[in-house]
Amino acid sequence: MSAVCHRSGVTPQPRDEAVVRSTSTGRWSLPGRRPAAVDWAQEVIAVPLGPPPHGALRGDVVAGITVAAYLVPQVLAYSGLARVPPAAGLWAAFVALAVYFLLGSSPQLSVGPESTTALMTGAALATLAIPGASAQDTAAVLALAVGAVCLLAWAGGLGFLADLLSKPVLVGYMAGIAGLMVLSQAARASGTDVPDASVLAQTWWLVQHPAQAHGPTVLVFAGTLVLLLLGARLWPTGPVPLLGMLLATLAVAAAGLSDDGVAVVGTLPFALPSIGLPPVSSLGSYVGSWALLTTALAIAVVGFTDNVLTARAFGDRHGDRVDARRELLALGAANVAAGMVHGFPVSSSGSRTAIVDAVGGRSRWAGLSTLGAALVLVLALRPVLARFPDAALAGVVVYAGLRLIDVAEFVRIARYRRTELAIALATTAGVLALGVLEGVLVAISLSLVDVIGRVARPHDAIEGLVPDLAGMHDVDDHAGAVVVPGLLVYRYDAPLFFANADNFLTRVREAVAAYGPQWVLLNTEAIGEVDFTGAVALETLRAELEAEGVVLALARLKQDQRDALEPSGLLDRIGAEHIFPTLPTALEGYRAATGQP
């Protein structure tokens, strides 16, 4: 146990220490003082013990009220995006906020209906239609399926999957989603009956038939959007969407535009939801549905990745630790809760989280404040909400979509590496051209191709001695570096596995041909992992060098590498006298064996 602790960088504590620290949560606790059930509950439930830190409660309450003012019109707009009644979106938001308060790991993350998952839900409902089942039932089943996927991933310890998508892919993906959000509002913003088709086809139809647009509706949409954009610039932490919606509602009512054909939300029923599973008859129709499974998996991947990235981005600002595995649990439970109240899939909102941070929210109590304020807002202003113009809600969706396009991040990526910019742009194009679900697969594929491409052709180095600088270094990095005569020190900067084994052999053979050494010393510090194909490559190299009278030696071989290579017999054939813990000891061994000075 001590060796394991030292290898992992954890200092072992004496057995008689007064406290011990959990390796999974980082919490200190008194041993033997609590039953196992209490420890398990603390692992699962993350309720803040006591009120927020002194002076933080006011900021959390103000943040909650401000976010609630932003959330309500946003959720109404996203409900339309998801093709479900407004009340379904509101209840999904309420239960998601409550569940995340109990289970989440981020002090600031705002969860609930979100543009990406709403858009994916709306796209999925067109293909998941079941005879006799309403769109709301279908959305509820989808939320339950997303929750099940997340909970299974949590139980299986798959939180590490959040790291599979590269930053360029995510930036490009979000830009593509933003484009689809904007284009998806063409019908609502123009007041036209656009034929059922893909988002791009609907937009193209509208471009071909501009005369079909309803002038007053377009005016309401454009006015709301301009107001939101100006308001966000002048008052970035204010409840701009709510104020914009209220002003649009007043303008429509004062001008009598609803009589001229400007559509409004209409009656907003807000009774207690019927809690439970969707009707058994419709639920059974989805069992074994491949379309449901793939859609739920795609929404879970996007939602979880968005949760973790947003939570980490804001957590890094304040030194808050975000647990990816706990985020899986919280997201899964929130989606199950949303499905049980007949809502639709939920995730996190970057824009609402940014408001929490800007206004001064510093704990999960801000989320609870948001829940309370949103309930009061809906109950008190329900008659006003029913008069919200559809075109103004379209303006809110377009406004949110435009904020998802991170132009500055595209510029940063371009300055860093053009190939990564190409990946970001290709992801955006894939989402726009192929659709949301297919765009997820494009994003994941591009991430994996990018990773494999880097490790399949990694950097390598010939190392030598540098005057007045301890150790051995890449001769390409130092003009004064000198290779030890007869000794080729070679470093391969990637795991040695099936995708790069041939490249490894080719590069070493080229170096041997160029230097003609007596010894080839393989510096394994950067290799880390060796699979079976990699072990075969090492044996091939050893046999080739032995046939030429050249010795193969290893330096800085880690214990995990030893354990992997031991069964192959390779280490025995190399010989213990040619395996060294450090480069200096290897250099001494070479000089002693060859008589070199």
Rounded Cα–Cα distance for residues 391 and 409 (Å):
30
Burial of 229 (0-12, 13-18, 19+ CB in 10 A): middle
Query: Would you state the pLDDT for residue 51?
Result: 56
Nearest Cα residue to 392 out of 595, 216, 523: 216
Nearest Cα residue to 506 out of 490, 495, 525, 487: 490
Stretches where the chain sits below pLDDT 50 are 1-41, 47-49
429: Cβ contacts below 8 Å, ≥ 6 apart:
176
190: Cβ contacts below 8 Å, ≥ 6 apart:
206, 212, 213, 214, 217, 218, 221
Query: Would you state the pLDDT for residue 268?
Result: 67
The residue type of 458 is: P
- Contact present, 220 and 232 (Cβ < 8 Å): no
Query: What's the pTM value of the predicted model, to 2 decimals?
Result: 0.70
Rounded Cα–Cα distance for residues 350 and 403 (Å):
10
b/e per residue 127-165 (b: at least 16 CB within 10 A): ebebeebbbbbbbbbbbbbbbbbbbebbeeebbebbeeb
- Contact present, 104 and 46 (Cβ < 8 Å): yes
pLDDT digits (tens, 9 = 90+) for 74-100: 888 888 888 888 889 999 999 999 999
| DSSP class per residue in 501-567 | HHHHHHHHHHHHHHH--SEEEEE-TTT--B-HHHHHHHHHHHHHHHHTT-EEEEES--HHHHHHHGG
Q: Are strands 460-466 and 347-348 parallel, antiparallel or unpaired?
A: unpaired
Distances (CA, A) of 204 to 181, 184, 197: 15, 12, 10
Query: Would you state the pLDDT for residue 151?
Result: 94
28: Cβ contacts below 8 Å, ≥ 6 apart:
19, 20, 21
Query: Would you state the pLDDT for residue 116?
Result: 81
Helix, strand, or coil here: 386? coil
Query: Would you state the pLDDT for residue 223?
Result: 93
Residue with tokens 């200092």: 11
Rounded Cα–Cα distance for residues 540 and 542 (Å):
5
- Contact present, 323 and 103 (Cβ < 8 Å): no
Query: Would you state the pLDDT for residue 186?
Result: 84
Other beta carbons less than 10 A from residue 321's beta carbon: 13
Q: In this structure, what token pair is assigned to residue 344?
A: 């639709």
Query: Would you state the pLDDT for residue 196?
Result: 67
Nearest Cα residue to 464 out of 502, 521, 544, 420: 521
- Contact present, 319 and 329 (Cβ < 8 Å): no
* Dihedral over Cα of 231, 75, 299, 101: its sign: positive
Rounded Cα–Cα distance for residues 248 and 244 (Å):
6
pLDDT digits (tens, 9 = 90+) for 206-221: 888 888 888 999 999 9
295: Cβ contacts below 8 Å, ≥ 6 apart:
120, 124, 127, 128, 142, 145, 437
82: Cβ contacts below 8 Å, ≥ 6 apart:
89, 113, 118, 119, 121, 122, 125, 139, 344
CA 379-384-386 angle, to 5 degrees, is 90
- Contact present, 200 and 184 (Cβ < 8 Å): no
